[in-house]
Amino acid sequence: MSKAARFDYGWVVVGAGALLTCVGFGAMLSLAVFLQPISDAMGWSRAGISAAATLDFLCMGFAAFAWGALSDRFGTRIVVLAGSLLLGIGLVAASQAQSLWQFQLCFGVLIGIAVGSFYAPMMALASAWIERHRSLAVSLVSAGMGVSPLTVAPSASWLITAYDWRTAMLVIGVAAWALLIPASLLVRAVPQGTSTAAADTADTPVTEWTAAQALRTPQFITLALAHFACCAAHSGPIFHMVSYAMVCGIAPLTAVTVYSLAGFSGLGGRLLLGTLADRLGAKPVLVGGLLVQALSIATYLAVARLGEFYALSVVFGLAYGGVMPLYAVLVREFFGARIMGTVFGAVSAFASLGMALGPWAGGYVFDTFHGYTWLHAGSFAIGLGAVAVALSFPSKRQPSLDLGRAPA
C-alpha cells in the first residue's frame, strides 16, 4: 500500500471513529432529553433516572481501560464491533424496562460498557494512522461527541413528542445497529513495517514503557486528575442543561436547541483547539480552554433568558468540547502509540468517574433545593481545580529518566 493510500485511509478510520463516538455518546447523553418524559410517565425521581447516567459513566470508565488494553492486544475492529452490538442491546432492553432498577441496569450498565469501547480505542488508532495533523485527527474522532447533540438528541425529542419515550429509545437502538456495525467494519489497523509505523518510533519516548510502568508516572497521574476534574466540572451543567432551561421557563423543544447549540459549538471547539494545539502545543491550549470552561460554568448563575442561554452555550461548548481531545495528544506525546490504548483508556476511566458525578449531583441538588444554583457553584470551583492541575503538567516530553524509573 502506497504512502498516499495509507494517508487517505487514515482519514476513513477517523471518519468511522467520528460516527462511532457520535452515535454512542449521543445515545448515552440523550438521557438528558428522556429525563422529564420518563419521570412523568413512570413516576420515577429525577435523581433515580439520573443515576442511570452516573452508572453509564462509571461503567464506561472501567470498561474503557479494559477495552483499551484489548484493542492494544487484539486490534480495534473487534472491540468497536462488540461495543456496537452491545449498545443496541442496551437501548432496546432499556426501552422495555418496567422498573427503575431494570432501567438503570440496561441503560446505565450495558450502554456504559458499550460506549467505553469507542472513545479510547479509536482515539489511539487515529493517532497512529495520522502523523502530521495528529491533534486535528483525534479532535475529529472526538468531534462525534459534539455532533451527537445535533443529531441523536433532536431525533429523540421528536420521537418522544410524536410517540412516547419507549418507542423513541427502541428506534434509536435499532438505528445504532444499522449505523455502527458497518462503520466498525471500516476500521483497520495501521499496516506494519510501513513508513507510517516507522515514523511512529521517532515520536515515542526513549524508554519503551510497559503499561504498568506508565501508569505509575507523575505525568499519567497529572493527566488523569486533570481529566477527572475537567469532566466533573462540566458533566452536571451539560446533563441538566435542558432541565435548567425549562426551569427558567423555556419550552421543552426550545430547551433542546440550547443543548444542541452547545454540542455544535463543541464541534467547532474541537476543530479550533485541535488546530491550535498542532501549532502552539497541547498544554497551553488545554489550560486556556479549561479556564474558559470554568468561567462559563460560573456564568450559568446569572443567565435566565433564551438569548443568554444561546450565547453561553456557544462559549461553553467551545471550551468543554475543545479540551477533550487534547488529553489523548498529551498521552501520545509522552507514552507513544504502542501502549496508548491502555494508557489513554486508564486516563479516560478517571474522566468517566468525573462525568459520573455531575448527573447524580445535579439530580440530588434539584430534588433537595428545587434549583441548580449549588450545582453551578460547585462545578465552577472544580473547574478552577482542573486549571491548577493542568498547569502542573510539563510542557514538553522529558528524557526517560525524568518520567520515572526506566525498565530494568
H-type alpha helices, 30-164: 31-42, 46-74, 76-95, 100-103, 111-115, 119-129, 134-162
Mean pLDDT of the chain: 83
| 170, 30 Cβ separation under 8 angstroms | no
Q: Furthest-apart CA pair in the chain: how many Å?
A: 64
From the list 160, 357, 373, 87, the residue with the least C-alpha distance to 239 is: 357
pLDDT of amino acid 8: 65
Q: What is the pLDDT of residues 135-144, one digit of tens each?
A: 778 878 877 7
pLDDT of amino acid 332: 81
Three cell numbers at 94? 432499556
Q: Where are the domains of the chain?
A: 3-188+202-395
pLDDT of amino acid 5: 45
| 358, 236 Cβ separation under 8 angstroms | yes
**What value does the mean pLDDT take over residues 213-221?**
85
SS (H, E, C) 126-177: HHHHCCCCHHHHHHHHHHHHHHHHHHHHHHHHHHHHHCCHHHHHHHHHHHHH
What is the architecture of the domain spanning 3-188+202-395?
Up-down Bundle (1.20)
Q: Is the pTM of this model over 0.95?
A: no
pLDDT of amino acid 83: 95
Q: What is the pLDDT of residues 324-382, one digit of tens each?
A: 888 888 888 888 777 777 888 888 888 878 887 877 788 788 888 888 889 999 999 99
Tell me if residue 25 falls in helix, strand or coil. helix
